[in-house]
């Protein structure tokens, strides 16, 4: 049978979809990539948070799934809302890539080596808040565009530094000269960072069976814990939220935080629980943060 995979047209999106498609082809299946232009691709000059957040990168692909124009969609899990449209599900989570962020500079070094007032580019409210929490003197500025465009802007001197996901660079085979990996203690990753989610119609058993062969147990446990954390918080696109789960033997351990936009208030927590109940770990962690005052930050974000 031939499976039609909906994908955005960016080089990174195609690379991610091709990675999944090639794994299925190796199992004897035929896969066709169908390019779909999303709202996030069209709205290149605006802040995503003002028009629905990262969900704009998946909306049209989900519509194509529901209309049966494609059989599956491959997404960066960090771009996916905590709640999926009725009739759709995440059938597979391939093995996770490195979830950490990287600091790209023209001169080398880490966060402490940046000069006072350095211009740092990022499209992420989470990264902005955590950078300011660590270095309130920095000038953190928004940036849009694909990976190649962003790297070119850094090379041209428009910024002193840039923060990106290491997984994206790795999937594109890019190795920038001055690339400093940021520890999860410095910048806790976004929920789902480094994980791909393969979305299909929940009632399409043929596709569920085919795609399910790609599922990685560790990635699934971590993904379910992190998405349950996000869902329990009820966080919107205007609030910096971070969460990283790790499978450790028979347990799932997870760190999470909620931050104010300016990074002055950061509420952190940690939870652990059995690996066969990963969602309970994420929900417990979210409950802990809410009990510490995260609700006030989330409500403020919703009003902004």
Helix, strand, coil abundance in the chain, percent, nearest 5 = 40, 25, 35
- 74-92 pLDDT per residue, tens: 999 998 988 999 999 999 9
Token pair listed for 118: 């350095």
Q: For residue 225, with 0-12 CB atoms within 10 Å meaning exposed, 13-18 middle and 19 or more buried, which class applies?
A: buried
Our CA angle for 230, 212, 62, nearest 5°, is: 55
Answer with the residue of higher pLDDT: 37 or 56: 37
For helices 11-25 and 147-155, give the axis angle rounded to 10 degrees. 140
Average pLDDT over residues 221-247: 93
The angle, 0 to 180 degrees and rounded to 10, between the axes of the packed helices 278-289 and 217-233 is 30
Which range has the worst mean pLDDT, 33-37, 94-98, 234-238, 243-247? 234-238
pLDDT at 37: 78
258 vs 256: CA distance, rounded Å: 7
Question: With contact defined as beta carbons under 8 Å apart, do 106 and 154 qualify?
Answer: yes
Q: How far apart are CA 276 and CA 281, in angstroms?
A: 10
What integer pLDDT is reported at residue 276 of this predicted model? 96
Count of alpha carbons within 13 angstroms of residue 147, beta-carbon side = 21
Provide mean pLDDT across the span 248-268. Answer: 96
The pLDDT score that the predictor gives to residue 47 is: 47
pLDDT at residue 304, rounded to an integer: 61
Q: Which domains does the chain have, with CATH numbers?
A: 1-94+195-215 (3.40.190.10), 101-181 (3.40.190.10), 217-304 (3.30.160.40)
φ/ψ (deg, to 5) at 258 = -130, 135
Q: Is the pLDDT of residue 132 over 80?
A: yes
What is the predicted pLDDT for the residue at 125? Answer: 94
Q: Residue 95: pLDDT above 70?
A: yes
The predicted pLDDT at position 38 comes to 66
pLDDT of 51 higher than 70? no
The helix/strand count (H/E) of the chain reads as 10, 13
Q: Which helix (H) or strand (E) holds 217?
A: helix 217-233
**Percent of the chain's residues with pLDDT above 70:** 92
Question: What's the average model confidence in pLDDT over 115-124?
Answer: 95
Q: How far apart are CA 159 and CA 177, in angstroms?
A: 16
Task: Please report which confidence band the pLDDT of residue 237 belongs to, taking 50, 70 and 90 as the band edges.
Answer: confident
Angle at 132 between CA 226 and CA 227, to 5 degrees: 10
Predicted confidence at residue 58, as pLDDT, reads 87
pLDDT band at 130 (very low <50, low <70, confident <90, very high): very high
Residues serving a catalytic function are 79
Phi, psi of 39 (to 5 degrees): -60, -40
| Residue 113 structure tokens | 């080596």
Rounded Cα gap, residues 150 and 289, in angstroms: 34
Could you give the angle at the alpha carbon of 204 between the alpha carbons of 200 and 207, nearest 5°? 65
pLDDT for 145-195, tens place per residue? Answer: 889 899 999 999 999 999 999 999 999 999 998 999 999 999 999 999 999
Please provide the average confidence, as pLDDT, over all residues in the chain.
Answer: 91
* Rg, Å, the chain Cα set: 19
* CA pair distance 131, 126, nearest whole angstrom: 8
Lowest mean pLDDT among 240-254, 264-278, 290-304: 290-304
pLDDT at 1: 75
| Poorest-pLDDT segment among 2-6, 9-13, 70-74, 144-148 | 144-148
Q: How confident is the model at residue 55 (pLDDT cuts 50, 70, 90)?
A: low
Token pair, residue 183, equals: 């520890």
Gap between the Cα atoms of 8 and 143, Å rounded = 19
């Amino acid at each position: 049978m031939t499976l039609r995979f909906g994908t955005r047209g960016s080089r990174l999106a195609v690379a991610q979809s091709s990675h999944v498609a090639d794994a299925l082809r190796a199992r004897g299946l035929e896969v066709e990539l169908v390019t779909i232009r999303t709202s996030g691709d069209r709205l290149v000059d605006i802040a995503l948070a003002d028009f629905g957040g990262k969900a704009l990168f998946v909306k049209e692909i989900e519509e194509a799934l529901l209309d049966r124009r494609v059989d599956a969609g491959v997404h960066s899990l960090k771009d996916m809302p905590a709640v999926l449209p009725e009739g759709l599900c995440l059938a597979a989570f391939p093995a996770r890539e490195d979830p950490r962020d990287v600091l790209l500079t023209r001169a080398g070094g880490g966060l402490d080596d940046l000069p006072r007032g350095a211009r740092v580019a990022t499209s992420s409210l989470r990264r902005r808040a955590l950078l300011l929490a660590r270095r309130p003197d920095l000038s953190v500025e928004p940036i849009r565009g694909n990976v190649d465009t962003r790297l070119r802007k850094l090379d041209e001197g428009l910024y002193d530094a840039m923060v990106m996901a290491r997984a994206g660079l790795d999937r594109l085979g890019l190795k920038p000269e001055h690339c400093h990996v940021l520890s999860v203690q410095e910048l806790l990753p976004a929920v789902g960072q480094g994980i791909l989610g393969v979305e299909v119609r929940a009632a399409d058993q043929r596709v569920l069976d085919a795609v399910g062969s790609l599922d990685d147990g560790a990635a699934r446990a971590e993904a379910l814990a992190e998405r349950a954390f996000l869902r329990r918080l009820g966080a919107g696109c205007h609030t910096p939220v971070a969460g990283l789960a790790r499978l450790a033997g028979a347990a799932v351990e997870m760190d999470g935080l909620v931050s104010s936009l300016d990074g002055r208030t950061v509420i952190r927590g940690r939870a652990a629980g059995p690996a066969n109940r990963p969602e309970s770990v994420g929900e417990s962690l979210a409950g802990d943060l809410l009990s510490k005052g995260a609700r006030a930050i989330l409500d403020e974000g919703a009003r902004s």
